[in-house]
Structure 1
């Protein structure tokens, strides 16, 4: 399992939900703490305000699920599928994603600070207005993805592929073009100026 940026291990779970069929389940208002969800089908599950704290999800299918104003705090996701899943205004602070699929995943608003997505394939993911401060995107594949108006302050992007990624309006972390793929990335004039200054260029009118 990939390690969290801080090196802290996942919290131990206390109860287990195994091989359950939660297809189309209404998760509204549910609260789960330190639960291991293993081989659970959450396809098309939806809800407002569901809270998962220090839970572990293994081989869970979140396909076409919709989560609004919910929370997945310090959770761990291992080999989970998020095909066409939508997160709106959710708090996913400190959660770790390991070997998950994120095809067509959409994130609208919310706080994903300190999230761990090292090596994640996010090429078909869409992030907008998301707080991603100090997120671990080491080696993440974001070529062609959309990451607009997001706060990536302090994010780790070493060896990440941002080629062709739409980054307009986002607060970008310090980046070394020698270690980050940026070819064809879409940025706005303010970002271009900030990147030029960060590279030590003398920008004059």
Structure 2
């Protein structure tokens, strides 16, 4: 009878697999990555890995869930610790600029590849919709907080402004993946959008 493995060891092995898979996806992208690549990168037997995940898609979904949780934590901390809601939005845009400039060396490139190449697949399309709704709901939560605090006086419905911000950021990120952040002038595009967002939100002088 084989010895029991503690929950702590199981979690360590799971994180080892996810860490190895992340490196593979960053290096090869989503479509070209294989379970064989992940097995070799993790330096674990194929049998051990299949105890946790059956396909590379399961592994990638676990990575997406992990990063969604981390992004939610960062977003909440940003709202709680910023001097104003507008400052929180500016910091969020600054983080987006950093992400775009390093997209080819991060999981973000595989992330967008996964969704864009599989948008016709019903299950993957549902995940894409959930990803969009999560991003949008976070932006709307931020905007509503700014309205409640008297910082924002929106010139359009809040949900529409949230969609405009989300669509612009997602579009620039996708273009950065396709042609590179420098050629897309991703940072300059975001900087140019800031006055537009400020106008849409009717940001008070005290907040900006």
Instruction: Give the TM bin, normalised by the shorter chain.
Output: under 0.3
The structure with more strand, counted as a fraction of residues: 1
The structure with more helix, counted as a fraction of residues: 2
Q: What TM-score results when the alignment is normalised by the length of structure 2? A: 0.24
Q: What TM-score results when the alignment is normalised by the length of structure 1? A: 0.24
Higher relative contact order (CA 8 A, sep 6+): 2
